[in-house]
């Protein structure tokens, strides 16, 4: 591990002042605190003032093999020297598409984009094009990117009656809300009822197979698959987060339920902007102008889609993930944290619970059985204090999630458990 950079509070102060002047809210909009990270190595990162953190944010997930992995660095340095992007096919992107198709059972063909938001947007458009219907069923609390359609009832500010959706952002047309059918996660009976009510207009279902921190109850994903078969709907798994994280074949391999199409991101770009839509060739054919009628063709163009640097980084990352023992190590380390957190919560008498699974979890400050968005709502004040307490003790995480990596060491876990116990004592 490299030595920490020299502590320089003046640099931090100057950058924070500059950020407040040139960035709305003083930041990029991703996190709610002013931390400025300057570099990372493995599962440690350093801010501009030299503070060191054990990293569970992992760039919001893509750094699953750790920061600055020497093998990933080596390949991208070679590729960058050959040119950074061409707007044409390139060997690395073609090979990465083939690797994804080999890994993900539902995928026969792949179309690359630059972000998970784009992937989910195009996936919903693809379902509409394939079925020639306008409505998509999604689940309250499910996150499907920053498009108008994605930002319906992700973090609703008001409780609505299903299937009514609520826009999560200013600037979203009311007409968009009317095209999204919103259901409670893990509730098959309500899903089937809403399908029947909207069947003549409904193209398909988009779902995070593991919704934020919430696991599917036994039979839920299988039930969605059965309903989509019965009512001839397209089933899309949003695997931007879970793809290559829960298993090499994604959540569809982990849970043994195969969708018709899926979206992927984060891990497949190795830390560079890259995401993808993949699925059955009879659905993906809508991207091929030469193979469908003019009215069935779905335009998709992206300046950096499948660019060689990101594709090469993704290929090397997937190669590393395929190696024996990596997933077992990540699950083991995740479970060590989960069990240690549970013990500390009990010892300090905190009203909280650990929700999630070994690759991805966090605290919810309530004592409800968490099965959907509404039951996962906890005490925001306690959550803010907990996150601040962990940062103060050198643990960096998102505001509601730990991402585990194949690179988290025993030393990282021990430091995290100590910081967590001290934070719980403080709470």
Q: Token digits for 161?
A: 């009656």
Distances (CA, A) of 108 to 1, 28, 124: 41, 36, 18
Contact call for residues 176 and 220 (beta carbons, < 8 A):
no
Among 53, 56, 92, 143, which one carries the catalytic annotation? 143
Contact call for residues 355 and 214 (beta carbons, < 8 A):
yes
143 is catalytic: yes
Q: How far apart are CA 45 and CA 409, in angstroms?
A: 14
Minimal CA–CA distance to 37: which of 26, 50, 25? 50
SS3 138: strand
Q: Report residue 130 CA to chain centroid gap.
A: 25
266 is catalytic: yes
Q: How far apart are CA 145 and CA 185, in angstroms?
A: 18
Among 47, 238, 412, 421, which one carries the catalytic annotation? 238
What is the secondary structure of 135-173 as a DSSP string?
Answer: EEEEETT----SSTTTTBSSS-SS---TT---BSSTT--
Q: How far apart are CA 122 and CA 106, in angstroms?
A: 17
Minimal CA–CA distance to 425: which of 349, 371, 323, 357? 349
Among 266, 316, 397, 401, which one carries the catalytic annotation? 266
282 is catalytic: no
Catalytic residue set:
143, 238, 266
């Amino acid at each position: 591990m490299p030595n920490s950079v020299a502590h320089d509070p003046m640099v931090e102060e100057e950058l924070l002042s500059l950020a407040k002047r040139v960035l709305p809210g003083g930041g990029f909009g991703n996190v709610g605190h002013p931390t400025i990270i300057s570099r990372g190595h493995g599962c440690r990162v350093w801010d501009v003032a030299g503070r060191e953190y054990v990293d569970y944010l992992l760039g919001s997930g893509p750094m699953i093999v750790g920061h600055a992995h020497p093998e990933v660095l080596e390949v991208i340095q070679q590729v960058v020297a050959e040119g950074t992007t061409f707007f044409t096919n390139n060997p690395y992107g073609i090979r990465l598409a083939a690797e994804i198709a080999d890994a993900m059972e539902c995928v026969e063909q792949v179309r690359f984009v630059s972000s998970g938001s784009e992937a989910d947007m195009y996936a919903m458009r693809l379902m509409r094009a394939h079925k020639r219907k306008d409505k998509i069923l999604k689940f309250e609390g499910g996150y499907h990117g920053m498009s108008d359609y994605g930002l319906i009832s992700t973090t609703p500010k008001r409780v609505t009656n299903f299937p009514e959706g609520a826009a999560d952002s200013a600037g979203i047309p009311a007409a968009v809300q009317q095209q999204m059918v919103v259901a409670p996660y893990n509730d098959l009976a309500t899903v089937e009822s809403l399908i029947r009510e909207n069947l003549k207009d409904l193209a398909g279902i988009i779902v995070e197979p593991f919704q934020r921190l919430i696991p599917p109850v036994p039979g839920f994903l299988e039930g969605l698959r059965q309903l989509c078969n019965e009512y001839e709907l397209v089933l899309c798994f949003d695997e931007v987060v879970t793809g290559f994280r829960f298993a090499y074949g994604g959540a569809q391999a982990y849970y043994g339920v195969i969708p018709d199409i899926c979206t992927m991101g984060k891990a497949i770009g190795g830390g560079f902007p890259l995401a993808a839509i993949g699925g059955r060739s009879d659905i993906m054919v809508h991207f091929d102008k030469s193979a469908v009628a003019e009215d069935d063709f779905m335009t998709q163009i992206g300046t950096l889609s499948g660019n060689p640097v990101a594709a090469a980084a993704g290929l090397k990352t997937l190669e590393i993930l395929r190696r024996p023992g990596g997933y077992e190590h990540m699950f083991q380390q995740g479970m060590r944290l989960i069990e240690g957190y549970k013990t500390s919560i009990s010892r300090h008498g905190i009203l909280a619970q650990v929700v999630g699974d070994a690759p991805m979890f966090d605290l919810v400050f309530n004592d409800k059985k968490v099965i959907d968005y509404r039951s996962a709502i906890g005490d925001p004040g306690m959550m803010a204090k907990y996150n601040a307490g962990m940062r103060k003790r050198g643990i960096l995480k998102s505001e509601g999630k730990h991402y585990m990596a194949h690179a988290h060491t025993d030393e990282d876990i021990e430091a995290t458990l100590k910081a967590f116990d001290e934070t719980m004592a403080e709470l």
